[in-house]
């Protein structure tokens, strides 16, 4: 145990940098993932015939083992952060996309019909009815994607993109268990922390009228 704290103190700078790198990678990946998946989810909810193929493609990406996906991308994009980011974005897509779609499609048809009959435009229906009612689902998707991304970002080290995976990898190579732990523990805490925070936001995002 002491050895672990010694490692923490002696490698403090390195661990801190890796930690920040890790958060940066996860955060950017999820942010871009939302920027792509949310509008796509909205579009396939409107044009339902595209829903199955689009979700299907992202589901296929999801099934590729993460290490293999990094492996596929290296010959095309080389090593470095962009490669890691793209892989992470691809993983973040499915949960957000699927939940956005399911959230919007799940909005009670009678509320939409009422909105239409009252003279709301499609955009007004989307912004004032569909998105608010789908928000808890969308946030749940973001939460899943974030936790997933934080975990997979550990593998970014293999394409030279840094992150806490670096620490773990180094520890493994040098049979230094303390160092492995110094990398693994923050990853776990990060995942749990994000999960808790996003769970709280998810609750807040549930419209008050639905909590009754």
Partner 1 sequence: MIRFDKVTKRFPDGTEALKDITLDLPARQLTAIIGPSGCGKTTLMKMVNKLENPTAGAIYIDDEPITGMNEVQLRRSIGYVIQRIGLFPHMTIADNVSLVPKLLNWTADKSNERSRELLQLVGLDPDVFMDRYPLELSGGQQQRVGVVRALAGDPNIVLMDEPFSALDPISREQLQDELRHLQQEIHKTIIFVTHDMDEALKIADTIVVMKDGQIEQIGTPQQLIDEPASEFVRNFIGTERINQKRSFGERRLKEFVSLFDKDWAGEAEQADAKLTVGDAHQLLEQSGKPRLAVVDEGQLVGYAGERELLRAALQAGKGAAV
CB under 8 A: which stretch of 22-30, 64-72, 118-126, 195-203 binds partner 1? 118-126
Q: Report the C-alpha gap between 19 and 136 in whole angstroms.
A: 29
User: Does 113 interact with partner 1 (rule: CB under 8 A)?
Assistant: yes
**Of the ranges 43-51, 124-132, 145-153, 160-168, which one interacts with partner 1 (CB under 8 A)?**
124-132
User: Which two tokens mark 196?
Assistant: 């808790």
Q: Does 116 bind partner 1 (CB under 8 A)?
A: yes
Please check whether residue 93 is in contact with residue 34, taking contact to mean a CB–CB distance below 8 angstroms: no
How many CB atoms neighbour CB 174 within 10 A?
10
Pick out residues in 68-97 that bind partner 1 (CB under 8 A): none
Give the whole-angstrom CA distance, residue 167 versus residue 149.
18
The token pair that represents 134 in the structure block: 């789908």
Instruction: Identify the DSSP state of 131.
Output: H
Indicate whether 49 belongs to the interface with partner 1 (CB under 8 A): no
The distance of closest approach from Cβ of residue 40 to partner 1 in the complex, given in angstroms and rounded to an integer, is 24
Nearest C-alpha neighbor of 88 from the set 24, 184, 170: 24
Site for partner 1 in 93-112 (CB under 8 A): 108, 110-111
Q: What are phi and psi of 108, to 5 degrees?
A: -50, 125
Q: Which of 115, 162, 171, 186 lies at the binding interface for partner 1 (CB under 8 A)? A: 115
**Burial classification of residue 185, based on how many CB atoms lie within 10 Å of its CB (0-12 exposed, 13-18 middle, 19 or more buried):** middle
Q: Is 129 in the site for partner 1 (CB under 8 A)?
A: yes
Q: How far is the CB of 124 from partner 1 (least distance, A)?
A: 8
- With CB under 8 A as the contact rule, the residue among 3, 114, 189, 196 that binds partner 1 is 114
Piece of 6-14, 31-39, 128-136, 149-157 that binds partner 1 (CB under 8 A): 128-136
Q: Which residues bind partner 1 (CB under 8 A)?
A: 108, 110-111, 113-121, 124, 128-129, 132-133, 207-210, 212
């Amino acid at each position: 145990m002491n050895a672990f704290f010694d490692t923490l103190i002696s490698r403090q700078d390195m661990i801190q940098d890796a930690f920040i790198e890790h958060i940066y990678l996860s955060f950017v990946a999820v942010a871009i993932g939302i920027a792509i998946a949310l509008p796509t989810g909205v579009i396939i909810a409107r044009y339902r015939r595209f829903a199955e193929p689009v979700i299907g493609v992202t589901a296929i990406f999801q099934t590729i083992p993460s290490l293999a996906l990094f492996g596929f991308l290296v010959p095309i994009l080389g090593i470095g952060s962009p490669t890691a980011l793209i892989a992470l974005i691809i993983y973040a897509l499915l949960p957000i996309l699927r939940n956005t779609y399911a959230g919007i499609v799940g909005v009670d048809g009678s509320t939409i019909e009422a909105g239409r009959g009252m003279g709301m435009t499609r955009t007004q229906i989307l912004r004032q009815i569909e998105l608010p009612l789908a928000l808890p689902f969308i946030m749940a998707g973001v939460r899943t994607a974030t936790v997933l991304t934080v975990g997979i970002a550990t593998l970014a080290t293999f394409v030279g993109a840094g992150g806490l995976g670096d620490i773990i990898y180094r520890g493994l190579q040098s049979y230094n268990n303390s160092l492995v732990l110094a990398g693994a523990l923050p990853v776990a805490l990060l995942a749990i922390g994000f999960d808790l925070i996003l769970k709280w936001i998810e609750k807040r995002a549930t419209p008050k009228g639905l909590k009754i």
